Amino acid sequence: MKQFDYVQPKTMDEALASWEPGASWLGGGTNLVDLMKLGVAQPQRVIDLTRISDLGEITFQQNGSVRIGAMVSNADLARHAGFAQHFPMVAEALLSGASGQLRNMATVAGNLMQRTRCAYFQEETAACNRRTPGAGCDARDSDEEARALLGASPACVATNPSDFCVPLAALEAQVEVRGVNGTRQIPIAEFHLLPGDHPERETALEQGELIVALHLSAEAARFARHARYLKVRDRTSFAFATTAAAAALQMEDGIIVEGRLALGAVAARPWRVAEAEALLVGQAPDAALFARVAEAAMAGAEAPVHLEWKIDLARRTAARALAMAAAGTPARLPALPASPFGQQNGDLAHV
Amino acid sequence: MSLFISLTLNGEAREVSIDDPRVTLLDLLRERLALPGTKKGCDRGQCGACTVLVNGRRANACLMLAAGLDGAEITTIEGLARGEDLHPVQAAFIEHDGFQCGYCTPGQIMSAVGLIAEGDAGSDPERIREGMSGNICRCGAYHGITLAVQEASRRMAAKDEGGAA
Ligand SMILES: Cc1cc2nc3c(=O)[nH]c(=O)nc-3n(C[C@H](O)[C@H](O)[C@H](O)COP(=O)(O)OP(=O)(O)OC[C@H]3O[C@@H](n4cnc5c(N)ncnc54)[C@H](O)[C@@H]3O)c2cc1C
Ligand code: SF4
Ligand code: FES
Ligand code: FES
């Protein structure tokens, strides 16, 4: 690991003042410290944000919207009773990610900012445009499975590995960021950038800006009775998604009034398609409908021959997530959150 | 750089000097504080061998910078037993053959203590397996581990009720 200078500011002003080019913000360290050990991240200064107390709170407003401080841990957010009741698929996605230990350490902001798991990105000796602009991309002609099927570019085919961000995209969360020039809000759909010619630009954050909070609106809670996250993995638990989907429906008298669908692990950001969601409106839940919606959500997907199965798997994951959402949110999360295995049923939530 | 941090380590107040910010909690424990019970498997958060409790919650010591831990309360495997009295999780691991080579065991036990304190799994074997999935056992002692955590969880719940009555 390269040597660095470590600071632990107590206030936001101190934190902003301690930033300089080449510095990195530190949350739980579960991604940054790992990448520093690999030599992939080499910050000259590490600014630990975990002691800034106003970043650690979950606040429900009178109107039912919620503001989640950037340093709230993934575990605390998933287990917050009010939060899990209003936004159950976000809790389910969080609990399907990483491990019990890692979720205790990982923060909301760190999860949003986590880097791709592309094996060539993590291998210092491989060519990677995201790590070293202009170096080339060793993943493109490889058998890497964590490869984007949508929104990729000749420069980079990496995916965003976050589970948390998938339901956040479906629910149109807002990211509150702050820099020396003040505070602004970025819709989650604009937060993660597609690679284009500049895969090294990963998010809409400007130099020196940091995430202070995440917002979910009161309206996003209207899906709470029919909202599920489904994650297909190489092993039952403690693995990144091969494919994933967050599905949320608002139902009245057995008819879908509005539907949301975001796909995970298929692009450099959670993937949402308005035309696919529009197909749900006014319909009764039905397997054929969900298959059509999944097909539309994956429109334009491309994969090398050895990964064509992943397009099919992503469609099936989406269709099944929609069917699970239609069946209803369970009152208690299943023993295996977001898993295609194990007991799915049980009492439904009537929130 | 020279930095002093105060820790409560296995119940004892300690002042620890950190001369390099790169030192992880895992290396601090093993290399500098003579507590080698916490194991290093992957050093990347992937195996759980380094699990300790930080402020009562389970965490991977290999990904924590020690410099950030001023004021923290740390419990390692060395701090669980009370003299000759094993912690209920330790006792249950022995009774149920929750290990073979033993390398992953300190991490498994600390993770189980953390999981039981979280209170989500109870003695449901499926929830225990899911909750313990951050701890890999190369010997495949998972069956015994699950039985041990079930047993310890039941005993600790019974004791809590007994205490409250
Ligand atoms: C073995 C393993 C398995 C995992 N499995 C999964 C999984 O299945 N699903 C999943 O979704 N994730 C998984 N993860 C990833 C994990 O969710 C992330 O590592 C974690 O969420 C990062 O949060 P952190 O607080 O530890 O971030 P850090 O490591 O502290 O930081 C990560 C990045 O965010 C930046 N950052 C931190 N705070 C801020 C801020 N306030 N503003 C701006 N930038 C900031 C840092 O500079 C850094 O670039 C896994 C990780 C590991 C190690
Ligand atoms: S796919 Fe992107 S992250 Fe992976 S090696 Fe290519 S440029 Fe790097
Ligand atoms: S050594 Fe920490 S998780 Fe493997
Ligand atoms: S007992 Fe050998 S690794 Fe678990």
The domain locations on chain B are 3-79, 88-164
Best of A101, A103, A234 to disrupt the B interface by mutation (most B CBs within 10 Å)?
A101
Q: How far apart are CA A11 and CA B117, in angstroms?
A: 31
Enclosing H/E stretch for A187: strand A182-187
Ligand 3 centre distance from Cα of residue A64 (Å): 40
Please give the structure tokens belonging to residue B148.
């041990």
* Domains in chain A: boundaries: 1-51, 53-113+160-219, 223-327
For B57, the closest of A98, A104, A237 (CB atoms) is A104
pLDDT over 50 (residue B165) = no
pLDDT of residue A345: 58
Atom of ligand 4 nearest to the CA of B108: 4
Mean pLDDT over the full length of chain B: 96
pTM reported for the whole predicted model:
0.97
Q: Is A48 on the interface with B (CB under 8 A)?
A: yes
Contacts of B9 (CB under 8 A, 6+ apart): B33, B35, B74, B76, B79
CB B50 within 8 A of CB B108: no
Å from B142 to nearest chain A CA? 14
Choices 3.30.300.280, 3.10.20.810, 3.30.70.2190, 3.10.20.30: CATH for B3-79: 3.10.20.30
Fold of B88-164: DNA polymerase; domain 1 (1.10.150)
Q: Is A56 on the interface with B (CB under 8 A)?
A: no
pLDDT in tens, A166-196: 999 999 999 999 999 999 999 999 999 999 9
Q: Is A24 on the interface with B (CB under 8 A)?
A: no
pLDDT of residue A342: 77
Check B45 against A46: CB less than 8 A apart.
Answer: no
Ligand 2 centre distance from Cα of residue A132 (Å): 10
CA count, 13 A, side-chain hemisphere, A254:
2
Choices 3.30.390.50, 3.30.1490.20, 2.20.25.190, 3.30.465.10: CATH for A223-327: 3.30.390.50
pLDDT over 70 (residue B98) = yes
At B31, the pLDDT band (50, 70, 90 cuts) reads very high
- Cα distances from A193 to residues A110, A127, A159, B46, in angstroms, run 16, 21, 11, 28
Residue B161 buriedness (CB in 10 A; 0-12 / 13-18 / 19+): exposed
Exposure b/e, A16-36, CB count within 10 A at least 16 = b = beebeeebbbbbbbbbbbbbb
Nearest residue of B to residue A342 by CA position? Answer: B126
Q: Is B155 on the interface with A (CB under 8 A)?
A: no
pLDDT of residue B117: 98
pLDDT of residue B160: 83
CB A161 within 8 A of CB A265: yes
- Interface ipTM above 0.85: yes
pLDDT of residue A351: 52
pLDDT over 50 (residue B146) = yes
A53-113+160-219 against A223-327: fold identical = no
The answer to which of A143-147, A318-322, B91-95, B111-115 has the lowest mean pLDDT is A143-147
Fold of A1-51: 3.30.43
pLDDT of residue A294: 98
pLDDT of residue A60: 96
Q: Is B55 on the interface with A (CB under 8 A)?
A: no
Handedness of CA A212, A217, A223, A224 (dihedral sign): positive
At B161, the pLDDT band (50, 70, 90 cuts) reads confident
Q: Which parts of chain A sit beneath pLDDT 70?
A: 343-346, 349-351
pLDDT of residue B2: 72
Residue A143 buriedness (CB in 10 A; 0-12 / 13-18 / 19+): exposed
For A100, the closest of B63, B68, B131 (CB atoms) is B131
Domain A53-113+160-219 is in which class? alpha beta
At B163, the pLDDT band (50, 70, 90 cuts) reads low
Mean local confidence (pLDDT), B71-77: 98
A132, A156, A193, best to mutate for ligand 2 pocket (most atoms within 8 Å of CB): A156
pLDDT of residue B95: 98
pLDDT of residue A81: 92
